[in-house]
């Protein structure tokens, strides 16, 4: 489970920023808190904020870190490729523009018998990796042990076997992470880090291109396994009981084209008839297509006990559907492996003390200098120095601007008469 994600100097976030999923000592919904390896961890985090306040940059920062861990061994031979993937620092400050970008996570592994808490992070600069570290500590201990550490002058691989150390020293390049290279070399300590990131799922429904491709991704085994199709139908029945099944037909491929293509029809029951009407899946509503896209990610993270990070979860979905998805992660009978949901949204209908804990609610706000900040409702102190009570109307007070993180509105001049 993710305990904490820290990042600094990434896009609109100039200063050190923390998304903390460790539970605070508050009383509401205490049964939701998962106790894992000595840590009290939350299953859900919801991020609110105005347009262009930085919500999507929190998503982007975690997605970037994951992608770099998975792919950095590809960048060592080509400096131009590294320049293309290098993270964008905060550009409205000449000092931060030249500084490194930092990413760090604290996490636990699913079903880990050793009960370790791991801390992994790295810094990226103009030339490549300037610092990288992997530490661990046992449950309920404050003292950490180093597995590896590197900076410009040091390469400490003391927590890795000697044979593996030699292989890393020979092959490591400046743009390549030890975790990424070590996983490629089948070093267990590095594979553990790489695999933790690999199991997480991302869905960017705020991006039109990503949304297009996500809505056309088929669940694993959907084409050939009728039971998978039945599972999808059961999933759909939670919000649309009109879909009774699917019909999949293979399309003949042109000569020398090995790509397999299929047509998929959703089967709907006709009025006053036992017959089923066929509707191309692509003709279903945008909301149905989004739920189809979410099915694979939901099934995957619930099975693996990993993280689903969704940008714009509320887009094209009814608030009750969003609520139902959130409740899935709260349900111990369904979420048996401690999967987590992190999402950005504008949907204030979910901003309720009947649904979310105060430490599960986060806000992003951008100041006049273009610097974004991320803060939790549980830590928010009003102008009188008072913390937010659990019986407040979160939605009402948020829209009134009590917690910040809302847009500053002026009249839209285009609509005014000359």
**Residue-wise DSSP of 216-267:** TPPPTTTTT-HHHHHHHHHHHTTT-TTEEEEEEEEEPPPTT----EEEEEEE
Whether 98 and 176 map to the same domain: the answer is: yes
List helix spans (H) across 92-160. Answer: 94-97
Among the three residues 228, 256, 290, which one is the final residue of a domain in this structure?
290
Asked if the structure places residue 30 within a domain, the reply is: yes
Where in the sequence is the domain holding 227, given as residue range(s)? 219-290
Do residues 71 and 149 both lie within one domain? yes
Buried b (16+ CB within 10 A) or exposed e, 16-46: ebebbbebeeeeebeebbbebbebebbbbbb
pLDDT of residue 314: 84
* Residue 301 placed within a domain: no
Distance of CA 3 to the CA centre of its chain: 13
Instruction: Provide the domain count of the chain.
Output: 2
pTM of the model: 0.88
- Residue 135 confidence (pLDDT): 97
What is the CA angle 233-235-237, rounded to 5? 70
Residue 406 lies in a domain: no
Environment class of residue 336 by beta-carbon count within 10 Å: exposed (0-12), middle (13-18) or buried (19+)? exposed
- Token code pair at residue 368: 């006049």
Integer angstrom CA distances of residue 87 from 48, 82, 196, 321, 346: 23, 10, 21, 34, 26
Residue 123's pLDDT is 98
Q: What is the pLDDT along the chain (418 residues), one digit of tens a residue?
A: 999 999 999 999 999 999 999 999 999 999 999 999 999 999 999 999 988 899 999 999 999 999 999 999 888 766 788 888 999 999 999 999 999 999 999 999 988 888 899 999 999 999 999 999 999 999 888 899 999 999 999 999 999 999 899 999 999 999 999 999 999 999 999 999 999 999 999 988 766 555 555 556 677 777 788 888 888 888 777 666 778 888 888 887 776 666 677 788 888 888 877 788 888 877 877 777 777 778 888 989 999 999 999 999 887 777 888 898 999 999 999 999 999 999 999 888 888 889 999 999 999 999 999 999 999 999 988 777 778 888 888 888 888 888 887 766 555 554 555 4
Same domain, 283 and 312: no
In this structure, are 31 and 146 located in the same domain?
yes
Q: Rounded to whole angstroms, what are the CA distances from 11 to 124, 210, 363?
A: 13, 20, 17
- 61 domain residue, yes or no: yes
Quick one: 253 and 369 in the same domain? Answer: no
d(C-alpha 179, C-alpha 198), whole Å = 12
**Cα distance between residue 130 and residue 134, in whole Å:** 14
Q: Using DSSP, state whether 25 is helix, strand or coil.
A: coil
Phi, psi (degrees; rounded to nearest 5) at 415: -90, -5
Q: Which CATH number covers residue 46? A: 3.40.50
Q: Do residues 76 and 144 share a domain? A: yes
In a domain, 150, yes or no: yes
């Amino acid at each position: 489970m993710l305990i904490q994600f820290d990042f600094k100097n990434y896009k609109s976030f100039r200063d050190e920023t923390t998304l903390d999923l460790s539970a605070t000592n508050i009383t509401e919904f205490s049964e939701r808190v998962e106790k894992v390896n000595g840590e009290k961890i939350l299953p859900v985090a919801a991020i609110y904020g105005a347009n262009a306040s930085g919500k999507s940059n929190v998503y982007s920062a975690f997605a970037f870190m994951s992608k770099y861990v998975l792919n950095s061994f590809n960048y060592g031979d080509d400096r131009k490729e590294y320049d293309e993937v290098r993270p964008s620092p905060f550009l409205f400050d000449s000092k931060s523009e030249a500084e490194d970008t930092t990413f760090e996570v604290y996490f636990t592994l699913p079903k880990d018998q050793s009960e370790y808490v791991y801390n992994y992070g790295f810094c990226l600069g103009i030339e490549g990796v300037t610092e990288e570290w992997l530490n661990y500590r046992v449950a309920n201990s404050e003292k950490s042990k180093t597995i590896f550490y590197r900076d410009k002058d040091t390469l400490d691989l003391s927590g890795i076997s000697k044979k593996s150390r030699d292989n890393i020293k020979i092959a490591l390049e400046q743009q390549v992470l030890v975790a990424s290279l070590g996983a490629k070399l089948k070093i267990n300590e590095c594979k553990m880090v790489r695999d933790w990131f690999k199991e997480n799922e991302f869905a960017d429904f705020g991006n039109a291109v990503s949304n297009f491709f996500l809505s056309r991704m088929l669940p694993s085994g959907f084409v050939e396994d009728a039971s998978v199709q039945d599972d999808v139908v059961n999933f759909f029945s939670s919000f649309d009981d009109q879909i009774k099944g699917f019909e999949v037909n293979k399309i003949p491929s042109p000569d020398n084209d090995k790509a397999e293509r299929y047509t998929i029809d959703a089967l709907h029951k006709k009025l006053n008839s036992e017959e089923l009407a066929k509707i191309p899946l692509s003709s279903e509503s945008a909301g149905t297509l989004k739920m189809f896209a979410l099915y694979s990610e939901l099934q995957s993270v619930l099975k693996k006990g990993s993280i689903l990070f969704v940008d714009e979860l509320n887009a094209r979905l009814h608030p009750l559907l969003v609520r139902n998805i959130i409740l899935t992660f709260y349900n111990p009978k369904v979420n048996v492996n401690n999967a987590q949901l992190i999402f950005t949204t504008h949907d204030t209908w979910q901003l309720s003390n009947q649904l979310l804990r105060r430490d599960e609610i986060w806000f992003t706000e951008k100041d006049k200098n273009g610097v974004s900040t991320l803060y939790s409702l549980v830590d928010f102190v009003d102008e009188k120095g008072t913390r937010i009570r659990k019986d407040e109307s979160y939605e009402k007070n948020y829209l009134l601007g009590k917690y910040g993180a809302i847009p500053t509105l002026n009249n839209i001049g285009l609509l005014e008469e000359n």
